[in-house]
Structure 1
Amino acid sequence: MLELLSLPPEILEKITEYLGGAHKKVVRRVCRQLNEIVEHQLFSNIVLKYSNYQPDLICEQLEALASRTTTARLHARSLEIRGFSPDAHLGARSRSRSVERNRNSRSRSRGPLAETHSTNKGILAHLGQAICSLRKVREVWWHVGQNDPEWAQIVVMDSLTSLPFLEELKISLGGGSASAVKLEQLTGLRKITITGSAIDYRRDVVHGLRTLISNSPSLTHLDVGCNYRSDDSQISTLHDLLGAVPSETPLKLSHLTLRGWCVRLDEETLPHLRSLESLSLSSNIDWQALSHLDLDEASRDALLERTGNWCSSSAEIWDTLREERIRLKEICTDEVNDALLEYLASYSRLERLTLSSATADTASKSDALAIKFYREVLPSHAESLVSLDVSPVYEGKWCFGKHNASSLLQCVRLANLKIHINSEEIDRDRKQDAVWNLLEVAEDLPNLSQLSIHSADSESNRGGRSGGNPSIGHIYRVNKEISQSVTTFGPMEPVGISKIITTPAREYVARSDDEAGAGLWYRSSMSQGSHLDL
């Protein structure tokens, strides 16, 4: 033990990082030196949440922090705040049942939090002081529960303003009211992430976020989106977010993620994007989408007047990025078109690419885009790409096959690959199986550690009803075929095999299997493990 304690603190910290939580608690009791090292690891992240199973725990935790009787507050660098309603962590079905229970029920789940609830009183008494005690926190992840009382939002917001080193804020909105989430109270953030939805998203979130952004001159990461809109009047624009930033001191955004927004790159927004390295755009709203909204004429005219001038099509966005020579290292988009491919072909050194809906209006157009991508675009980034995710809606040339195998083999730095398979190219009997061919390609990629193989819908189902039985049946059948192909691939030599193969059904790793024969075979990484009953 004495020899261990003679090691430099940095090495001791690395060693103790491999210990589980239970073992770290034991090590804390050995001596003061180890206690200080392990204590920092145990309490670097503090989680404040209500538990239906231990309803008094949150009050005890808050009281200890508020009274400064625990040293955990000295080590906390990140803080996670979850819902404060007793039903916040139950599923919808359980919540409805708890509300229906008799008031004399002994269950700890009592429906929405009432002002007179004993736990409520404890939280109210100590929540603000507890958060304020975490003076060294730099990152906060706040889950705003659907049933959280307004006073809880007010207390949390007021307390966050007292954290002197806060630089990253993640807020997950649960779909309820966010009227007390006053983002404009905060300043000086470097990273902002807002997910989920609120009853009046534009009024309660966008307006405050606009002020927060303008008061955060060092902001580099901005991730905002709304999972759904209860009212089309909630649509907002990138100009709404950046419009209050002083033009003489533009932001230096390096990461931007927008979901369901109107986006236009012009003289007002471009100055903030000159340093952009990562861009994620999904559900982009353009002029055409606005004009087809199910609104009465007056509402549509009002919406077009407010947002129409600040909406560009996806093609216009990529054209502008190409013309302005803003060369991204990471791209995620759900719309593929000629403009995107021309932009990608205009430079090299892309590192991460996600095409979450690689398709087009017709099969022929989709195939033409895919051939252009694999033959003309992908080779330009083969030496730098470390992650590639190509997820088409329908089968076709975006899927793996002989037409793109050679292009994929050029991506020697690729560590993560997700690609789909055409069902008609799975033929184990004739030993012309696309899954086997893909696994052979994976063996030849020296840095590949994760390969995800998925199915796409049949092209014959294009234009059919979403989620219809033909689509579900087709995808289920192909997923089963993919899994069978993975488990029959081999045998492999036990040299350099460290890849994880993921399918919609299971995750596989290379293992010996006496029943299958010598060598290694891909077998489930879970002892009982299936996400999909095949």
Structure 2
Amino acid sequence: MLHLKPGIFTLPTELLYHIVDELTTTELKNLRFACSQLNNTLESLLFSQITLDTNHPQMVQDLALNHTRIGNYVRCLHIPSLALETDTERVFTRHLVPALSSLKSLTSINWTVTETDSHWAIEQVITHLSPLPTLFNLNLYLKGLWIQPIPLPFHRICQFKHLRSCAIQVDDNRLLLLIAEGLFDANKFHIESLKLDGGFDSFTDPERYMTNDTDLAMLFNSTNDKFCNLGLGCVHPMPMAPRLKELSLSQFPLRHSPSILSQLGSLKALHLDRCIPYDFWKMCVEAGIQLMEITVDHVDESFLDYLESYQGLERITVAFNGIQIRGSVHELNAERFWGTCVPRHSRTIREVSVQPKNKGRWCFSNENVESFRMCGLVEELAVGIDVDEKDDIILLLQVADSYKKLKSLTVLLKGRGLPWDFIRCEQARTEFHGAIANHRHWNHSAYEVTVLTRSEQNRRASFRRSSVVKC
């Protein structure tokens, strides 16, 4: 048995937790059995996150029979499946309710639901976990296409009434409003972060999204009669000012609506992915909404008007993955973005990430370098570089050196477009790495530099989209 010097236990608890939090699960298990003095601390960390599903009935049984102290430690619960298997159904149905009841300090649920899941098990999760006053975060993923548009147990979804953060992702867009309405209405006066993914199928069917039934206004208009008039214990709180600070939307049409404005008074961060903007930005200008953090994949004149309407933006990400506009307009928008919009926020902006599809005026160049020089507080910077403009990388490094607080610089290599980019980007990366190494050798820069080719950028973007819901 390993014995540690007493000095380690004189460290502040927060620091001790931070040290062991750097260990992998396997390392935690090994150290827990090797060092009796650290056992209690490590045990609480090891079991702060657990997985509960029908494929692992032993965990359910241990929780139910109180064989361990696991129930006291669990903060994040991951539920990947509630489909009852023949060989585990008896154990699972016998022990699920007492197992759920043992989770007294749960703060977060990461839950994947499919149509094959047991409706009984779904209802038990809702019934026994929703009353917990410590449960502040719910990440819900409804996976696959559902034959039944209304999964019956989710009529009780509004019983989760203490949420401060909620993420809902669906593959079947008929389900989004059905679930989101109940959760949002029950929590709208204290929820601070809301993420919704799956409003419509794709941009390939314009008639579908023009007449889409998952408009954001419908969510905020809802009084949740579908759920809370069923005698399920959903009591509306007294009217209060909305507290929604962060809103993330994927595949949503955004139209002007008084009901939307009524919920965005405290909004500070907005993340849009494959959304139809309509007149949304004009509405934000008229309402005086001043965001501190923005992520978009589509830039039009109304968005640029919005950026020019105020000062105080701290973080902006532009990743062109959504609706595309004509090339000439696209380039003119780039000139305006770098020429007037970014300087408008130069005194506050700390993170800038602009990810063009191909080379052009959205990339860093000598034409927009002055706008970058004005932003002296930048801590993280990601910009495109024309693969044929080697001098631009030196110019970018000179600008980066002037940022006293810069932590990371990401260079996105951009060419004419597929299929030429892959080979040329690989060649350019070798050239740029040499230029970067030489520059940093003489200037002793402390910030991290990463150079990404198109294929690497695509992999990162794909990973981000697949990680919308996580614990």
Q: Whose relative contact order is higher, 1 or 2, with alpha carbons under 8 Å and at least 6 apart?
A: 2
Match for 2:317: what amino acid? T
Distance of 1:414 and 1:118 partners within structure 2: 57
Distance of 1:478 and 1:212 partners within structure 2: 49
Give the root-mean-square deviation of aligned CA atoms: 3.0
Distance of 2:254 and 2:392 partners within structure 1: 39
1:94-105 map, 5 Å: none
Alpha-carbon deviation of 1:19? 4.2
Distance of 2:7 and 2:354 partners within structure 1: 52
Q: Kindly provide the CA deviation profile for residues 337-367 of structure 1, in whole angstroms up to 9, marking residues without a partner as x.
A: 2221121122222111111228963322222
Alpha-carbon deviation of 1:9? 3.7
Query: Equivalent residue for 1:448?
Result: 406
Q: Is the 8 A contact 1:436 1:485 kept in 2?
A: no
Q: 1:147/1:394 Cα in 2 relative to 1: closer, same or farther (>3 Å)?
A: farther
Quick check: 1:350 aligned with 2:337?
no
1:169 to 114, 119, 138: 138
Q: Is the 8 A contact 2:170 2:176 kept in 1?
A: no
Query: Equivalent residue for 1:16?
Result: 20
Distance of 2:387 and 2:281 partners within structure 1: 33
Match for 1:82: what amino acid? P
Query: Equivalent residue for 1:90?
Result: none
Q: Is the 8 A contact 1:450 1:502 kept in 2?
A: no
Distance of 2:116 and 2:425 partners within structure 1: 39
Distance of 1:347 and 1:385 partners within structure 2: 13
Query: Equivalent residue for 2:78?
Result: 80
Please state whether the residue corresponding to 1:268 is helix, strand or coil. Answer: helix
Quick check: 1:240 aligned with 2:228?
no
Distance of 1:496 and 1:402 partners within structure 2: 21
Distance of 2:212 and 2:60 partners within structure 1: 36
2:326 to 357, 362, 375: 362
Q: 1:363/1:123 Cα in 2 relative to 1: closer, same or farther (>3 Å)?
A: same
Q: 1:478/1:271 Cα in 2 relative to 1: closer, same or farther (>3 Å)?
A: same
Alpha-carbon deviation of 1:188? 2.6
Q: 1:251/1:66 Cα in 2 relative to 1: closer, same or farther (>3 Å)?
A: same
1:260-271 map, 5 Å: 260-271=251-262
Query: Equivalent residue for 2:171?
Result: 197
Quick check: 1:273 aligned with 2:264?
yes
1:31-110 map, 5 Å: 34-49=38-53, 58-84=56-82
Please state whether the residue corresponding to 1:79 is helix, strand or coil. Answer: strand
Q: 1:197/1:360 Cα in 2 relative to 1: closer, same or farther (>3 Å)?
A: closer
Please say which of residues 170-179 and 346-355 is displaced more in the overlay. 170-179
Alpha-carbon deviation of 1:118? 0.4
Question: Which protein shows a greater Rg?
Answer: 1
State the identity as a percent: 26
Match for 1:169: what amino acid? L
Query: Equivalent residue for 2:111?
Result: 142
Query: Equivalent residue for 2:341?
Result: 377
Q: 1:209/1:151 Cα in 2 relative to 1: closer, same or farther (>3 Å)?
A: same
Match for 1:209: what amino acid? A
Distance of 2:196 and 2:418 partners within structure 1: 32
Q: Is the 8 A contact 2:131 2:160 kept in 1?
A: no
Please state whether the residue corresponding to 2:167 is helix, strand or coil. Answer: strand
Q: 1:270/1:228 Cα in 2 relative to 1: closer, same or farther (>3 Å)?
A: closer
1:328-339 map, 5 Å: 328-339=291-302
Alpha-carbon deviation of 1:149? 4.2
Match for 2:340: what amino acid? E
Q: Kindly provide the CA deviation profile for residues 471-523 of structure 1, in whole angstroms up to 9, marking residues without a partner as x.
A: 4312213321332123222323283434041413799xxxxxxxxxxxxxxxx
Q: 1:443/1:339 Cα in 2 relative to 1: closer, same or farther (>3 Å)?
A: same
1:206-245 map, 5 Å: 206-216=177-187, 217-226=189-198, 229=201, 232=208, 235-244=213-222
1:481 to 421, 427, 434: 427
Please say which of residues 176-185 and 23-32 is displaced more in the overlay. 23-32
Q: Is the 8 A contact 1:421 1:454 kept in 2?
A: yes
Please state whether the residue corresponding to 1:476 is helix, strand or coil. Answer: helix
Q: 1:18/1:334 Cα in 2 relative to 1: closer, same or farther (>3 Å)?
A: closer
Q: Is the 8 A contact 2:422 2:455 kept in 1?
A: no
Q: Is the 8 A contact 2:51 2:77 kept in 1?
A: yes
Please state whether the residue corresponding to 2:93 is helix, strand or coil. Answer: helix
Number of residues of Structure 1 aligned to a counterpart in Structure 2: 423
Q: Is the 8 A contact 1:435 1:485 kept in 2?
A: no
Query: Equivalent residue for 1:327?
Result: 290
Match for 1:224: what amino acid? L
1:153 to 119, 122, 127: 122
2:441 to 484, 489, 493: 493
Distance of 1:250 and 1:187 partners within structure 2: 17
Alpha-carbon deviation of 1:280? 1.9
Query: Equivalent residue for 2:7?
Result: 3
Query: Structure 2: which 5+ runs fail to align?
Result: 224-235, 457-471
Alpha-carbon deviation of 1:74? 0.6
Q: 1:439/1:61 Cα in 2 relative to 1: closer, same or farther (>3 Å)?
A: same
Match for 2:284: what amino acid? L
Alpha-carbon deviation of 1:275? 0.6
Q: Is the 8 A contact 2:126 2:159 kept in 1?
A: yes
Q: 1:73/1:369 Cα in 2 relative to 1: closer, same or farther (>3 Å)?
A: same
Query: Structure 1: which 5+ runs fail to align?
Result: 86-112, 286-312, 426-431, 459-470, 508-534
Q: 1:167/1:10 Cα in 2 relative to 1: closer, same or farther (>3 Å)?
A: closer
Alpha-carbon deviation of 1:270? 1.1
Q: Is the 8 A contact 2:346 2:375 kept in 1?
A: yes
